[in-house]
Structure 1
Amino acid sequence: MIPVPSNVRVWLAVGRTDMRRGMNGLALLVQQGLGRDPHAGDLFAFRGCRGDLLKIIWHDGVGMSLYAKRLERGRFIWPSPTDGIVAITSAQLAYMLDGIDWRNPQSTWRPVAAG
């Protein structure tokens, strides 16, 4: 579990990213490709071409962290490449990391009566 404070902005770098890139390569992509500051405290997520691997970089004020998650089955739901960069909430990121469609999470069941 990534210890993300609720006030951190989460950015999805749409399209495909070369997953051979490490922390420095992804930070450079944020700075040059997305036009954002990778050291501002925002969280940046990248998805590989197969869609089952996600890398996240985050500078927490002390140092840069690199997180990776691979789904054993399925793919991460990702915006289309025409959207550029997309901002989501930390709650939507939690859905995404669990393999749930973050755009429209559905409740599985709600009780109708208390007894």
Structure 2
Amino acid sequence: MLSLHAGMRVHLALGATDMRKGFDGLAAQVQTVLKADPFSGHLFLFRGRRGDLLKALWWDGQGLVLLAKRLEKGRFIWPTIAREGTVTLTTAQLAMLLEGLDWRTPMPSWKPEIAVSGAARRPPPAASGMRRPLTASRSAPGRCHPRAGS
């Protein structure tokens, strides 16, 4: 299972990767092409030429872990800024990438409503639990009674 810890970085390997590679081939690519340590505990992501297959490699402290995901529809969004190197993602961007969403331009999940004047939105006093003010009765000085007819 993939568990991200606070110091873990997520690296996307730019360009297309041969998806026939396994543990050793991807670890060698991390060392030679990406110039990084595959045993650092960081997560390294690789995408195939077609774009629908993604592999993740990381060291969990006991051994290398290899995870693969293939999308049924669509392609994983991948940067095209260079043929080699890495791009670092946040954990939120990683979650979007694994869902097949465009992690580069996140869309808000809600839109603010159109502002309405305060009077139109204020509920009537009875509905809001407010009571009418009590007034002094003329027949009994010093005592408060609700107004007649209410």
Per the TM superposition, whether the score is higher than 0.5 is yes
| TM-score where L is the length of structure 1 | 0.90
Which structure would you say has the larger RCO, counting Cα contacts within 8 Å and 6 or more residues apart?
1
Letter in 1 for 2:23: M
- Within-5 A mapping of 1:47-62: 47-62=47-62
Rounded Cα–Cα distance in structure 2 between residues aligned with 1:70 and 1:11: 19
Give SS of 2:82's match. Answer: helix
Structure number with bigger Rg: 2
What residue number does 1:13 align with? 13
Rounded Cα–Cα distance in structure 2 between residues aligned with 1:69 and 1:44: 14
| Higher normalized helix content (fraction of residues) | 1
Indicate whether 1:87 and 2:112 are aligned. Answer: no
- Percent of aligned positions that are identical: 55
Rounded Cα–Cα distance in structure 1 between residues aligned with 2:46 and 2:36: 14
Unaligned runs of 5+ in 1: none
Letter in 2 for 1:5: H
How far did residue 37 of structure 1 move?
0.3
- Within-5 A mapping of 1:27-106: 27-82=27-82, 84-106=85-107
The size of the alignment, in residue pairs, is 114
User: C-alpha deviations, 1:4-29, integer Å up to 9, x for none?
Assistant: 22431000001000000001110000
Unaligned runs of 5+ in 2: 116-120, 122-150
Letter in 1 for 2:39: H
Rounded Cα–Cα distance in structure 2 between residues aligned with 1:17 and 1:81: 16
User: C-alpha deviations, 1:66-110, integer Å up to 9, x for none?
Assistant: 000000000000011517311111211111000111111112324
Rounded Cα–Cα distance in structure 2 between residues aligned with 1:111 and 1:5: 34
Question: What's the C-alpha RMSD, in Å, of the aligned pairs?
Answer: 1.8
